[in-house]
Amino acid sequence: MEASVKNHLNIKKEKETQSETQKNLSERFSMNWIVSRRYDGFFFIGSCVFTLFFLRIFMWAETQDLAPQGDSVILTYFIFTAIFDHPHIFQTFSRTHADKEEFEERKHMHTWGLAAFIVAGLILTGMGFEKELIVFAAFFGSWHIIRQHSGFLKAYKGINQDFDKIDDYLDTGLFYSGMFACFFRDYSDIKSPVVVYKELTANFPYLSPQITEIVWSIFIFFLVAFSLRQVWRLYKRKSINIPKILFLVAALSTHYFVFFLTALPFLVAESLETVYHNIQYQGFVMHYQRKRFSHIKNIVLKWFGVAMIYGLVVGTIEVIGLMTNGWVKWLFVPFTMIVLYHYYIDGLIWKFGKNPELRKLLFDKKD
């Protein structure tokens, strides 16, 4: 009897010790996630490894003697645009056109505005500004990716109550200086036309390489300051925002890898830069669909299936247009403008500060 009581007390004490340890860890390390540890780990943070996947596809294609004709570039780009990029573009419509509240709020933008984007693309192409459109899309696309990453950074700060002013300054400074150091590294000191595919080239505006050196120095300053701040927080027993740190490492290291460690053709670099963003967006929109359309059975699978069909069709049209450079290019102009519409409208439909109900829907775990 006494042995049984002692065992019970020992088990109880052990559980209390474990509970106390977990409590101490939760106080020292803040680990609140947008959806869950596994979901965020795959879609929002760990999906950065897909940049390596695309680099591997390109390297494999080169070993198959496809490189001399440039087909290693087009194969890599087709897989990217058909399976990853255009499907994520289509998913935007679940937020803009399928969501009755959002559609009513910006009805003209989602109808006449979208039509205006497409007409503008056709006019610009007809006037011979196709190359300039490519340059604009490249810049706008990079900025769009940076802004999406910034949104995830703010989300991880918000759900982990990471609101100290000095951390806000350091997080923002580290993120933007790192992103722009990569951006200027890719788009500065360009003195000759950039080959898009075979004879199709585009002239990018010349930016001094000194810009990269300046921004890189600013980034190093913020990196050191940020690291010291984490050490100080540990010393003062303040909580460390683990999801935020993991996300910053994933986003910054991915862009550093693409723009500093590799020298790739334009379309391949675009694929590597964008695929992480694509999967992030798919994951976030699927989370939104589950919440907003919870009354519809298999809503996520339905949207994903149609999005994949859309991607394969549009990706095929786009690649054929690049390879033939003939009348087919007119078929993918509307889809290119839908991409630009996506860039623009995304900056409006996910503003949680102006839509507290949407923020509550997506981030409140009590729902």
- CA dihedral of residues 36, 42, 43, 47 (deg, nearest 10): 150
The encoded tokens of residue 352 equal 């949680």
> Residue 110 pLDDT > 70, yes or no?
yes
Residue-wise pLDDT for 242-282, tens only, equals 999 999 999 999 999 888 877 777 778 888 889 999 999 99
Give exposure, 75-98, as e/b (b: 16+ Cβ within 10 Å): bbbbbbbbebbbbbbbbbbbbbee
Least confident of 22-31, 99-108, 195-204, 318-327: 22-31
Comparing CA positions, the residue from 116, 85, 92, 81 lying closest to residue 317 is: 81
> Residue 92 pLDDT > 80, yes or no?
yes
CA separation for the pair 259, 332 (Å, rounded): 28
Residue-wise pLDDT for 279-328, tens only, equals 999 999 999 999 999 999 999 999 999 999 999 999 998 888 777 766 77
Least confident of 8-17, 191-200, 316-325: 8-17
**Strand, coil or helix: 200:** strand
* Residue-level pLDDT at 208: 84
Burial class from Cβ neighbours inside 10 Å (0-12, 13-18, 19+) for residue 306 reads middle
Comparing CA positions, the residue from 116, 152, 88, 121 lying closest to residue 306 is: 88
CA separation for the pair 103, 202 (Å, rounded): 36
* Residue-level pLDDT at 79: 87
> Residue 60 pLDDT > 50, yes or no?
yes
Residues 35-54: what's their mean pLDDT?
93
Which residues lie across from 202 on neighbouring strands? 194
Contacts of 306 (CB under 8 A, 6+ apart): 90
Confidence category of residue 24, pLDDT binned at 50, 70, 90: low
Taking the domains of the chain in order of start, what are their residue ranges? Answer: 31-363
Residues 347-353: what's their mean pLDDT?
91
* Residue-level pLDDT at 68: 45
**Contact (CB, 8 A) for 82 and 307:** no
* Residue-level pLDDT at 2: 57
Contacts of 109 (CB under 8 A, 6+ apart): 345, 348
Tell me which of 17 and 257 has the higher pLDDT: 257
Identify the H or E element spanning 203.
Answer: none
> Residue 12 pLDDT > 60, yes or no?
no
> Residue 23 pLDDT > 60, yes or no?
no
Whole-number percent of the chain with pLDDT over 70: 87
Which residues lie across from 241 on neighbouring strands? 30
* Residue-level pLDDT at 198: 67
Residue-wise pLDDT for 147-194, tens only, equals 999 999 999 999 999 999 999 999 999 999 999 998 888 777 777 777
* Residue-level pLDDT at 231: 95
